[in-house]
Amino acid sequence: MAFTLPALTFEYQALEPYVDTTTMQIHHTKHHQTYITNVNNALEKFPELASLGIVDLNKAVGTDKIPKELATVVRNNGGGHWNHSFFWKVLTAPTNSNGPSAELKAAIDASFGSMDDLKTKFNAAATTRFGSGWAWLGMKPDGTLGITSTPNQDNPLMPVADDHLVPILGLDVWEHAYYLKYQNRRPEYIAAFWNVVNWEQVNANFTAAVGGAVPSL
């Protein structure tokens, strides 16, 4: 079954002034759609992989489940599809979120000390990711929260990742995510991101991760 572009839960202009309308429209309809088109085209030649959903496809990156001739295109484009589908869901209009739940806040305090410390560490991971990539907050195998970053369209679900987490929050730091508005000022974009985090979705992602599941898309 071919992958399709997911609808957003908000209008393209809803994240203004923190994420501009044009960037959101291009990012969703052009960049994300390209990843979907590329991975669908690649998988057409390997019907035996059709039964893998996008999560299992990402978990198979770097393993012998993915034929060598498909490895790069699946890693880049299957990763791009999962990453963006996840990313859209953790965004919302600036006034539409109430912050982390009591359970998530307790986990944040236990793992990082405070929300401010979490933001400092997350912002550093996003800022120092060389070139294109992502920053992630997620649950580690030991049940605590951790922060990592990945290059290109990798994510912490992939066996090739340096750190393995179940993501509950992610930030795209590819230049196409921010350059029209922020140009080379990536730290400014990262700081603005916190104004449009959909904490209700992050809370749900955390609950899923506690239960041992990857958040649904």
Both tokens of residue 119? 């933001």
186-193 and 115-128 are packed helices; what angle lies between their axes, rounded to 10 degrees?
A: 150
Both tokens of residue 55? 């999560």
33-43 and 79-89 are packed helices; what angle lies between their axes, rounded to 10 degrees?
A: 140
Which of 163, 94, 109 is CA-nearest to residue 135?
163
Alpha helices in 60-114 (DSSP H): 68-73, 79-89, 102-112
Is 117 labeled as ligand-binding? no
Is 176 labeled as ligand-binding? yes
What is the SS3 assignment for 125? helix
- Cα 136–3–53 angle (5° rounding)? 65
Tell me, what amino acid is at 154? Answer: D
CA-to-CA distance for 169 and 208, rounded, in angstroms? 12
Both tokens of residue 202? 């992050």
Is 84 labeled as ligand-binding? yes
Is 154 labeled as ligand-binding? no
What is the SS3 assignment for 101? coil
Cis peptide before 17 (omega within 30 of 0): yes
Binding-site annotation, residues: 27, 84, 172, 176
Binding site feature residues for Mn(2+)? 27, 84, 172, 176
